[in-house]
């Protein structure tokens, strides 16, 4: 067991406090000077290494002039701060549904993701992303804003030391989200990514029959200095799990999916053959060496 952050709630509270201070161009030293606190007291709140007191959060927000709905949102994180798990609704006041996920993705040392219906967001091309979002019946707000946010999330592939492992069911590759040109572009993009040493892409073929991930996609995020988190995305909510028993269940699911998936080399061949089968007119001209 790591010297863990308190919980997902505590970690997210720390992130929000850091963001508010950054907006005011205050560092830890400036905040500690204004509150007459030792810097370690504030750092521990940022990273939730120790229990955070509600009254301390009140003092910080008051000092920064944070009031109204923004303050209410942060105080809500203080409630049940030691409780495992976090559910975020797309109807949250300030549309911060993706922020928790983005923060965890940036901090993770490894990310395992399984999908049975969609290309994971990290690996989506812009056209695939737009087509997928246009198919959502509950998309709220500006489509281009959502697309840009998704594309920005891809930066973590190049800006972090994270190891990525993706297991996709064959159906993900066959589900057409916008025509032959778009899908050929997307599959070739996967083939460009799969040769990177920090990215593993493996396919569960339909010929494998029933698979252990039939209940839906998930991501298992692991950290150097904190315990693991499982992320599940649904139409209604974002769900973060962190109870050790839940993490163990998804760790077992990961193990079983690895057993059912093709090897990395066979998966590359599988995707290449599928492109030739489904999109023979594609002029990408990508040549792969196995």
Owning domain of residue 70: 8-83
**Distant-in-sequence contacts of 151-154, Cβ < 8 A, 24+ apart:** 151/126, 153/98, 153/102, 153/105, 153/121, 153/122, 154/121, 154/122, 154/123, 154/124
Cα separation, 98 vs 163, in Å, equals 21
Question: For the chain, percent helix, then strand, then coil, each to nearest 5?
Answer: 50, 10, 40
pLDDT at 70 (0 to 100):
83
What are the backbone dihedrals phi and psi of residue 174, each rounded to the nearest 5 degrees, phi first?
-90, -20
pLDDT the model gives residue 288? 47
CATH assignment at residue 262: 3.30.870
Q: Is residue 283 part of a domain?
A: no
109 and 243 inside one domain: yes
Quote the number of domains for the chain: 2
94 in a structural domain: no
Return the H-helix or E-strand segment holding 153. Answer: helix 143-153
For residues 107 and 250, membership in a common domain is answered with: yes
Q: To the nearest 10°, the Cα dihedral for 91, 62, 77, 110?
A: 100
**pLDDT for the residue 155:** 82
**Domain end call among 48, 83, 118:** 83
Residue 89 lies in a domain: no
pLDDT along the chain (290 residues), means of 10: 64 85 90 90 76 83 89 81 73 55 86 94 92 73 77 81 94 91 94 93 89 83 89 81 93 94 96 91 53
Return the pLDDT at 94.
Answer: 40
Quote the pTM value.
0.81
CA atoms within 13 A on the CB side of 200: 17
């Amino acid at each position: 067991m790591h010297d863990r952050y308190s919980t997902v709630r505590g970690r997210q509270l720390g992130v929000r406090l850091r963001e508010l201070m950054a907006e005011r161009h205050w560092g830890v030293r400036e905040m500690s000077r204004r509150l007459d606190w030792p810097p370690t007291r504030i750092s521990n709140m940022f990273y939730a290494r120790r229990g955070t007191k509600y009254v301390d959060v009140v003092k910080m927000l008051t000092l920064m002039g944070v009031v109204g709905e923004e303050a209410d949102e942060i105080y809500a994180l203080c409630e049940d701060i030691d409780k495992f798990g976090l559910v975020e609704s797309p109807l949250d006041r300030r549309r911060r549904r993706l922020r928790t996920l983005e923060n965890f993705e940036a901090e993770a040392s490894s990310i395992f993701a399984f999908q049975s219906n969609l290309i994971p967001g990290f690996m989506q091309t812009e056209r695939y992303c737009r087509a997928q979002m246009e198919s959502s019946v509950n998309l709220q707000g500006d489509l281009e804003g959502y697309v840009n946010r998704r594309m920005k999330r891809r930066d973590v592939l190049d800006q972090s030391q994270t190891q990525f492992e993706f297991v996709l069911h064959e159906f993900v590759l066959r589900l057409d989200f916008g025509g032959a040109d778009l899908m050929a572009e997307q599959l070739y993009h996967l083939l460009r990514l799969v040769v990177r040493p920090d990215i593993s892409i493996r396919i569960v073929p339909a010929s494998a029959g029933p698979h252990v991930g039939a209940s839906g996609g998930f991501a298992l995020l692991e950290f150097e200095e904190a315990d693991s988190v499982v992320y599940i995305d649904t139409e209604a909510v974002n769900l973060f799990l962190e109870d050790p028993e839940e993490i163990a269940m998804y760790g077992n699911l990961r193990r079983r999916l690895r057993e059912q998936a093709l090897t990395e080399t066979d998966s590359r061949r599988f995707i290449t053959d599928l492109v030739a089968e489904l999109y023979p007119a594609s002029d990408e001209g990508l040549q792969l060496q196995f």
